[in-house]
């Protein structure tokens, strides 16, 4: 079984601010049928805008689109910041939690010994707030490598239940004010709720990126295999 936990330095203040933003969230615009009392439905368009440009920078191979391309990648522009009141919680959230995702990317996803850089892509994010009698069903997530769950309110014993690839069911050791990260393929659910539980959740990928040193070596050793600019490529940092 694999999972990772991180704690923001200012988690008590963060949780207080998130509770206030979630409290005013418009309940009439939810689009997903869920057995939870209050949520930002994760199948509507706004769930895709995470309100954090650094994690929205996707790129695809340009040569898949144009055989005459002179560069290798097509960079997608990040979506604009959504200033709507119902999306403010995301801005507050990433101010504190983004550094934890960078730490996870280097600790776990793209290890420093590879001498590679990394790029984080967050596909979508949402929140659930559950009250007594609410529940969740077994499920996993597609089109992503990892799931992040940040606990704003977490009654004892109501930690997320996971089933790993060997079929072992377990509840990770996690507490209120912590970020839990686990593989997206793990089947998971929230146990039946006996007290208020609030989470902010998101799907994300971490991609490896070549450094300038690696690019320069390829250009020298296999010049016919290199056709791209080095713009945006950063030196490796430990």
- Strand extents, DSSP E, the chain: 4-6, 38-39, 59-61, 73-75, 117-130, 146-153, 161-163, 169-170, 179-183, 187-189, 197-209
Report the pLDDT value the prediction gives residue 59, as an integer from 0 to 100.
74
Report the pLDDT value the prediction gives residue 105, as an integer from 0 to 100.
97
| Domain residue spans of the chain | 4-210
Q: What is the residue whose two structure tokens read 């963060």?
A: 14
Report the pLDDT value the prediction gives residue 33, as an integer from 0 to 100.
72
Question: What are the φ/ψ torsions at residue 145 (nearest 5 degrees)?
Answer: -95, -35
What are the tokens at 199? 């989470």
Collect all residues with Cβ–Cβ distance below 8 Å to 222 and sequence separation of at least 6. none
Report the pLDDT value the prediction gives residue 73, as an integer from 0 to 100.
72
Q: What is the residue whose two structure tokens read 């409290």?
A: 23
Residue range 52-106, pLDDT digits in tens: 999 998 777 766 667 776 667 777 888 899 999 989 999 999 999 999 999 999 9
* CA pair distance 55, 46, nearest whole angstrom: 15
What are the tokens at 41? 């439905």
Report the pLDDT value the prediction gives residue 63, as an integer from 0 to 100.
65
Q: Which of 200, 193, 126 is nearest to 155 (CA)?
A: 193
* CA pair distance 149, 138, nearest whole angstrom: 16
Q: Partners of 149 in the beta sheet?
A: 180, 201
Q: Which CATH architecture has domain 4-210?
A: Sandwich (2.60)
Report the pLDDT value the prediction gives residue 229, as an integer from 0 to 100.
61
At 51 the three-state DSSP class reads: coil
CA-CA distances (angstroms) from residue 5 to 20, 67, 147, 172, 180? 24, 44, 12, 9, 5
The helix-helix angle for 88-104 and 11-23 (nearest 10°) equals 140
Regions of the chain with pLDDT less than 50: none
Report the pLDDT value the prediction gives residue 42, as an integer from 0 to 100.
67
Report the pLDDT value the prediction gives residue 29, as an integer from 0 to 100.
66
Average pLDDT over all residues of the chain:
88
Q: Are 192 and 135 in contact (CB under 8 A)?
A: yes
């Amino acid at each position: 079984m694999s999972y990772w936990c991180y704690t923001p330095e200012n988690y008590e203040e963060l949780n207080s601010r998130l509770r206030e933003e979630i409290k005013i969230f418009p309940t009439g615009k939810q689009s997903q049928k869920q057995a939870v009392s209050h949520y930002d439905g994760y199948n509507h368009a706004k769930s895709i805008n995470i309100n954090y440009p650094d994690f929205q920078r996707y790129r695809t191979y340009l040569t898949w689109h144009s055989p005459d391309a002179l560069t290798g990648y097509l960079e997608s522009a990040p979506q604009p910041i959504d200033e709507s009141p119902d999306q403010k919680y995301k801005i507050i959230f990433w101010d504190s939690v983004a550094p934890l995702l960078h730490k996870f990317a280097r600790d776990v996803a793209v290890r420093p010994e590879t001498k590679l850089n990394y790029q984080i892509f967050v596909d979508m994010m949402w929140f659930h707030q559950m009250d007594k009698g609410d529940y969740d069903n077994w499920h996993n997530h597609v089109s992503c490598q990892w799931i992040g769950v940040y606990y704003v309110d977490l009654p004892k014993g109501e930690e997320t239940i996971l089933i790993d690839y060997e079929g072992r069911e377990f509840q990770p050791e996690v507490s209120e004010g912590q970020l839990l990260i686990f593989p997206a393929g793990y089947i998971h659910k929230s146990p039946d709720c006996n007290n208020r539980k609030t989470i902010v959740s998101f799907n994300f990928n971490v991609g490896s990126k070549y450094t300038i040193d690696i690019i320069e070596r390829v250009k020298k050793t296999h010049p016919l295999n290199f056709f791209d600019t080095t713009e945006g490529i950063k030196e490796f940092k430990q």
